[in-house]
Amino acid sequence: MSKPKPDSPDTGNEPESQTTSNFIRSIIDQDVAVGKHGGRVHTRFPPEPNGYLHIGHAKSICLNFGLAADHGGLCNLRFDDTNPIKEEAEYVEAIKEDVRWLGFDWEDREYYASDYFGQLHEWAVELIRKGKAYVDDLTAEEIRQYRGTLTEAGKESPYRDRTVEENLALFESMRAGELADGSKVLRAKIDMAAGNLNMRDPVLYRILHASHHRTGDDWCIYPMYDFAHGQSDSIEKITHSLCTLEFEDHRPLYDWFIRELDIFPSRQIEFARLNLSQTVLSKRKLKQLVDEGLVSGWDDPRMPTISALRRRGYTPESIRDFADRIGVAKADSTVDVALLEHCLRVDLNKRAPRVMAVLEPLKVVIENYPEGESELLEAVNNPEDPEAGSRQIPFSRELWIEKNDFREEAPKKYFRLAPGREVRLRYGFFITCQEVVKDETTGEVVELRCTYDPETRGGYAPDGRKVRGTIHWVSAAEAVNAEVRLYDHLLKPADEVKADQAKDFKASLNPDSLKVLTGCKVEPSLEGAARESRFQFERQGYFCVDNRDSSPDHLVFNRTVTLRDTWAKIEKAQRQASA
């Protein structure tokens, strides 16, 4: 990716390469330079445990942990678990696993907003004592009506002027469990005419007789997210609190709490959230897909969750590289999923061993090869990595080749196998198709009778004869059976979505996002391949052993990505468009 030219205006939206500068880094550098907080940099990643992490969260994780590490600082993992209704311990464990897998370490700094419920309650009482908070009897609906609109001031609640004593007593009975859910709330007393709606007496506490995954039934009042998030940062003395743009309008409220409570002044900085083409990045929508059985689970390899990307065959390195390249900006945009895939290909190209696998097998019998014999041929493990060495693959009279590497009626530009044509078997010999055997009833091609030229061992003819096509193959006797799952994007490309479908993301689901092939034949070196090991199947793409369903008796491979990199093309088009 190209960096912005020095003379072009910095929109803050240019993709960054490597760990180059960005506006957040500049702010932090300035704060460090003037010795703010003693030059300390302390960030946090604050997920709400109400779903699995997705690639958008990965952006935030890389940013928070990365900026802290680059400044010799620390990054906490904090679960923002203020909502007992949607949160579950299962999500907490999955989140920890994902952050660790991405390569980040929060050491012993694992915190929970729920650990601060006691402190937050004391602060609520403090605000009441200062006359800055009151108990309100309006219903949720009335509160909404009283709030006003962007163009119209709100109306004060008739309960707004309760005395401090009355508020303290009522808040205590809320807390003691004497009142029903929804009957009262605690609100900040700020300004019902404020231009910013978040400042119009926001709700701080609500009554909720619900068990919390950590605090059990200790509480029947719970702080609102806005009354917990900023203060949790203050409690942890977070210096730079990075969050997505939708919280920009909440910052004045967080700063109000900091002033009124005289607590540690964490500085909030907002950045644009990641949007990715051909997928959805919203826990709510992802949960819907899981709950409605439209995918097999949170880690279904079509999902954009970290656990699904892992299962699909993504590497943590490629995701971190992607996060570096997209950088951070102040305006929303959508990143093409081709860039994510490009980062993955760059990484896998360097380290995935090459193997041969036939996904839709067609039998080939080499008529002039002796029956019952076989020999070993040498195959290079990874031409991009000399250290990877080579391996021996068996060759014999019966082989499998790919069905679509043969055509009975071959067009002129078709260089693979056809009646009378000669091709090279990768790392093997030249073979010529002599005869086509068909199923008598269906007419389907079931076998090819071929001959091989023993002089072409290793793939070259001593007489200088050339062949145009090279195909992959597997020796039938030694082949290992496998199931291969071909994945494609969760959603159709935007330009294929009809206007009337655009509103409901489920109408854009790609009906061809999964194709399962059983009866695939892979080379014997893959026997017993470990879960999550990654390979390049020559000519076909990158594949990863499924970490859920694969076993030594039943190998299952997920296609990670095909070999065709569309990013280079997109990048070129973008360059031309901006030139």
564 a catalytic residue: no
Chosen from Mg ion, ligand ATP, none, partner binding at 230 (C-beta under 5 to 8 Å by type): none
Nearer to ligand ATP, 282 or 296 (CB): 282
Nearest C-alpha neighbor of 185 from the set 154, 213, 157: 157
Q: Select which of 96, 109, 273, 531 is catalytic.
A: 273
What is the rounded CA–CA span in Å between residue 403 and residue 424?
A: 16
Question: Which span sits near Mg ion by CB under 5 A: 46-54, 138-146, 304-312, 511-519?
Answer: 46-54
The one of ligand ATP, Mg ion, none whose footprint includes residue 46, by CB under 5 to 8 A per kind, is ligand ATP
Can residue 114 be called a binding residue for ligand ATP (CB under 6 A)? no
Q: Which of 42, 59, 342, 421 binds ligand ATP (CB under 6 A)?
A: 59
Distance from C-alpha of 293 to C-alpha of 185, rounded to nearest angstrom: 37
**∠320-323-324 over CA atoms, to 5°?**
90
Q: Is 449 a catalytic residue?
A: no
User: Out of Mg ion, ligand ATP, none, which partner does residue 274 contact, by CB within 5 to 8 A per kind?
Assistant: ligand ATP
**Which two three-digit tokens encode residue 565?**
């990199």
288 touches ligand ATP (CB under 6 A): no
Find the shortest distance in angstroms from Cβ 317 to ligand ATP.
19
283 binds, among Mg ion, ligand ATP, none (CB under 5 to 8 A by kind): ligand ATP
Q: Is 416 considered catalytic here?
A: no
Q: How far is the CB of 531 from Mg ion (least distance, A)?
A: 32
48 in contact with ligand ATP (CB under 6 A): yes
**Residue closest to ligand ATP, measured at CB:** 56
First and final C-alpha spacing in the chain? 15
Strand pairing class (374-380; 422-425): unpaired
* Per-residue mark of binding to ligand ATP, 513-542 (x: CB under 6 A): ------------------------------
Nearest one of 333, 270, 327 to 20, comparing CA atoms: 327
Applying CB under 6 A, the span of 45-53, 250-258, 422-430, 491-499 interacting with ligand ATP comes to: 45-53
Neighbours of 506 (CB within 10 A): 13
- Would you say 310 and 58 are in contact if contact means Cβ atoms under 8 Å apart? no
The answer to whether the CB of 214 falls within 8 A of the CB of 114 is yes
The helix-helix angle for 117-129 and 164-175 (nearest 10°) equals: 160
As given in the structure block, the two tokens for residue 270 are 């907002």
Size of the site for ligand ATP (CB under 6 A): 15
Joined tokens for residue 260: 């009124």
154-169 residues labelled b (16+ CB within 10 A) or e (exposed): beebebeebeeeebee
Q: How many Å apart are CA 87 and CA 84, to the nearest integer?
A: 6
Smallest separation (angstroms) from Mg ion to the CB of 282 = 10
Q: Rule CB under 6 A: is residue 243 a binding residue for ligand ATP?
A: yes
Which of 175, 187, 200, 283 is the catalytic position? Answer: 283
User: Would you list the DSSP string of 448-465?
Assistant: EEEEEEGGGTTS--TT--
Q: Which of residues 263-282 bind ligand ATP (CB under 6 A)?
A: 273-274, 281-282
Where do contacts with Mg ion occur on this chain (CB under 5 A)? 48
Q: Which residues are catalytic?
A: 48, 273, 283
Where do contacts with ligand ATP occur on this chain (CB under 6 A)? 46-48, 56-57, 59-60, 243-244, 273-274, 281-284
